[in-house]
Structure 1
Amino acid sequence: MALAVPAAAQFGPAPVSVAPVVEHEVSAGQTFVGTVRPVRRSTIGSAVDGRVVEVMVEDGDQVKKDQPLAQLRTATLEIELAAAKAQLDVMQHELEEWQNGPRREEIDQAKANMLGAQARMEYARSKLKRIQSLVERRAASEDELEDATSAAEAAVQTYAAAKAVLDLAMAGTRPEKLAQARAKVAVQQEEIHRIEDQLTKHTIVSPFDGEVVAKHTEVGQWITQGQAVAEVVELGQVDVEVMVLEDYVAYLRIGTPAQVEIHAVPGEMFTMIPGKVTQVIAQADLRSRNFPVKVRLDNQLVHGRYLIKPGMFARISLPISKLSKSLLVPKDAVVLGGPSPMVYIFEPSAKDPKSGRARPVPVQLGTDHEGSVCVTGDLKAGQQVIVEGNERMRPPFDVRITERAGQPRTAVSSVQAAKGR
């Protein structure tokens, strides 16, 4: 029966890459406690009064920008919109008629009416002259003369009216009438836009990507303008707000790097999450003389859920002192996920400087500095720390230095690698 032997004995030393521990002057870190807050929080209210007919989200749902959250009843508005569009269609046809002017057939008809009126006028005038001549010879009565005179005047008026109709048809549409028709169409179009805007307001949407943390309405409820429908927070990035004593705040600037630890994530220990100072509020609390400072960091999405949530407790390390000598190691050298952060020191063998053993050394983490991190522990400047191949080390820790093959891992990816252990 073969005896079980360690993996290293079966497969040889584990390949690793190393980097030196360096000493550098950096600002020492000070730890502060703070609270995680969302970058944006919005209590979304209704822009109009209405009855809720559908609620599309529940507490904890992820939503996208402009995604509907709730729908109000719109039946009456839809009827108004259909009527307004029909009225616009009528007005547009009227405008088209004014723009095209009278048809050729209408002009011909007006001309024919005028010519007929002209013929009747000439006949009436001729008849009047004849009656006048007969009256002078006493062959016609005064009544006949009055009738002929009246008929002649009526014929003249009829001709004048027919000629005016023809002149109007020949002249085309008056500019004032055309302008009025265009104005009516424009007014009706704006009325349609108003109704469409009202319809849009009856759908309450999310203003940004985020997560619903509170739902304030249900189907059938009547809500008024401004009444809350849901509360949404943005969690792609989060802020950690800490109170910094007035003695330290002068060392902080926008963009100052920070290290954040959050231990409340179930089953995880979030250590050394990089962040940056985004706000130093220029108003201290008058009782404590502390200034609010916000540090922003990227959140981690796992199985469709963000791990860091508003309200969690956090510790932040900020560089708030004068320069002093500190030991720095690459971020990839730090292994997370155990009781404390750890690095592996490479101890070469006497025969081969590229072969040796890896010795685990617990460390305490400090501030960031240009891609490295300050550490304190059983380390010395010039020692070699393992930066690749350190994620899954098991005793007896026999290793051999090889060329570094991959890209440097970030501190957050180290946390993710720690999940598999």
Structure 2
Amino acid sequence: RHTSEGAWLRIGDPVVTLVNNIDLEIEADVPASRLSGLHPGTEVSVMLEQNGGGALQGDYFRATVRAVVPDENPAARTRPVRFQPDQLLLQQSLAVNQHITLLLPASGSQQVLTVAKDAVLRRGSQALVFIVADGTAQPRPVQLGEAIGDRFQVLSGLTENDIVVIRGNERLRPGQAVVYPDIPPSEPAPPVTGQNQAAEQSAG
């Protein structure tokens, strides 16, 4: 309501604003560099803060891209993207201008090589992992890309069939003997592939 009972109004003055709390959509200003992974129909994850509808912080819901608006903000280099919430999200206690968090794909679907975050050691500005070659631990400098869940994209330094140590690697020395159980061939899991196998350092 924009006025009170008995107030004088001029032609065109707003009186009330009606809000449709059933058919809501999400609009977010997305950096233009991130738009390659967003197309009509693309699903994304939505996280709500704690609210009166029972959803707790950290609860994830789904929304689908409805449109990428071709109107770029030249200062921020962003474009509005509109998302259609799924039914479970619409059942929450949502409000106009409510703050939410969208988890957007970094780019379009692609095959990438990844390594577990637990495998990565930091030596100053250099990232390295230990691989197992001929039964011994060998340090391997790696160049990492973006984080994907509990893994890093590997830009260089590893190949798909490398066996990578993810536990006990902090205590390893170059050339130290490493034993590990038989590892069955991994199944491909697009769009992320190259899931490096894990080896454990022996207790001896």
TM-score scaled by structure 1?
Answer: 0.24
Give the structure with higher Rg (CA): 1
Higher helix share: 1
The higher-RCO structure (CA 8 Å, 6+ apart) is 1
